[in-house]
Amino acid sequence: MTKEVAVIGIGMTKWGELWEKSLRAVAVEAALKCLDDAGVDKVDAITVGSMSSGLFNAQEHLASVVPDYLGQRLVPAIRVESACASGGLAVKTAYMEIASGLSEIVLAVGVEKMTDVDGGEATFALASAADQDNEAFHGITFPGLYAMMANAHMHQYGTTLEQLSQVSVKNHHNGSMNPHAQFPFKVTLEQVMNSTQVADPMRLLHCSPITDGAAAVLLAPVEVARKMNKPYAVITGIGHATDTIALCQRKSLCQLPAVEAASQRALKMAGKTIKDVDFAEVHDCFSIAEIMVMEALGVVEPGQGGPATMNGLTALDGDFPINPSGGLKSKGHPVGATGVAQIVEAVSQLRGEAGQRQIKNARTALTQNMGGSGASSITHILEAR
């Protein structure tokens, strides 16, 4: 039996092209907002999720930079990475610091500063999340990989461009109510379908953007959280899995076994099924990803993700809202920060503080954060208390 761990504070920066702020400044801003939210000024340990601060900023060793500039000298700190799932792993690692008995109050920070390099360099850095020897070196990039998945899904299940586009419409609708979002505006189905083609069938508005930003959560044992007389949520399940690094090694381009395994493990640990979950934040790096993830989670049967999206199942007022925050599409995708920001949104909803985008009676949340073309995935189950 593992120790119960609570999220006692959340914070994030405005996401976007933050040219006037450095990598460390962005990380520290989110961390300070989180500590302010919790009313805590000293932590026992820090975890930092960042995918590629080496390639983006020539700065490894964020495990020293973040505590140093946060005024938390001598604390144990660790940077974790699993491509775009780095943020989710920062939260898992913070959980392990506490559940293992090594630390009590642990801060998890996710950060990425992606606009300090030009577009080609950013594409190169992001491609290092794929198989360098068998994919990236030969020229394929992530829009191309996900386009192959989209084409396969359309071929196998009849998923349509309109259905893919509705994912973006829904997420931009939600994100238009999120003050932290990079692109807080609505888009129409026609705008998405007619946007510039990136990799057939995907248009620009099916793709998440390049973003600077950070997010942070503060964790503590539940017995500590109780004494603080503030709202908190509890992490009741964590599931984590990996798959082949190269997309071509999978049995099917239409399935995400790591997402399925991770989510089943998380639900099992929480003693729940997907039917017990009220809403989810998932990894919509491309519109097809949200459709494939909802199928892998068991929200709908394989092939039904597109029709269900058109029918409003995953809308804010639907039976299973997905990405109330606006998702990666509208909120932005500073890769190492995304997984932490999913937890920030989940806790915000569970605390009933999500403002215009508040989901009614939100008691149980699922977050799903993914690396590469589904080569790693981590799911957290969070519950209101």
The nearest distance, CB 72 to a second copy, in angstroms, is 8
Q: State which of residues 36, 39, 58, 319 lies at the interface with a second copy (CB under 8 A).
A: 58
Contact 292, 284 (CB under 8 A): no
The nearest distance, CB 190 to a second copy, in angstroms, is 36
- The reply to whether 153 belongs to the active site is no
Nearer to a second copy, 217 or 241 (CB): 241
| Cβ neighbours of 187 (radius 10 Å) | 21
Query: Which of 335, 235, 180, 208 is closest to 2 using CA atoms?
Result: 235
Q: Which of residues 347-376 bind a second copy (CB under 8 A)?
A: 371-372, 375-376
Q: State which of residues 244, 304, 311, 358 lies at the interface with a second copy (CB under 8 A).
A: 244
Q: Residues binding a second copy: what is the number (CB under 8 A)? A: 71
- Which residue in the list 172, 206, 333, 380 is annotated as catalytic? 333
Contact 222, 4 (CB under 8 A): yes
Question: Can you tell me which residue has the tokens 């080496």?
Answer: 54
Here's the x/- map for a second copy, 66-95, by CB under 8 A: it reads as -xx----xxxxxxxxxxx-----x--xx-x
Q: State which of residues 236, 242, 367, 368 lies at the interface with a second copy (CB under 8 A).
A: 242
Confirm or reject binding of residue 249 to a second copy (CB under 8 A).
yes
The nearest distance, CB 152 to a second copy, in angstroms, is 20
Can you say whether residue 101 is alpha, beta or left, with left for phi > 0 and alpha for psi between -120 and 50 degrees? left
**Which residues touch 222 (CB under 8 Å, ≥6 apart)?**
3, 4, 5, 6, 232, 234, 385
Q: Which of residues 6-25 bind a second copy (CB under 8 A)?
A: 22, 24
Q: Which of residues 199-238 bind a second copy (CB under 8 A)?
A: 238
Q: What is the DSSP letter of 12?
A: E
- The reply to whether 180 belongs to the active site is no
Dihedral sign (CA 252, 256, 258, 262): negative
Active-site positions?
A: 84, 333
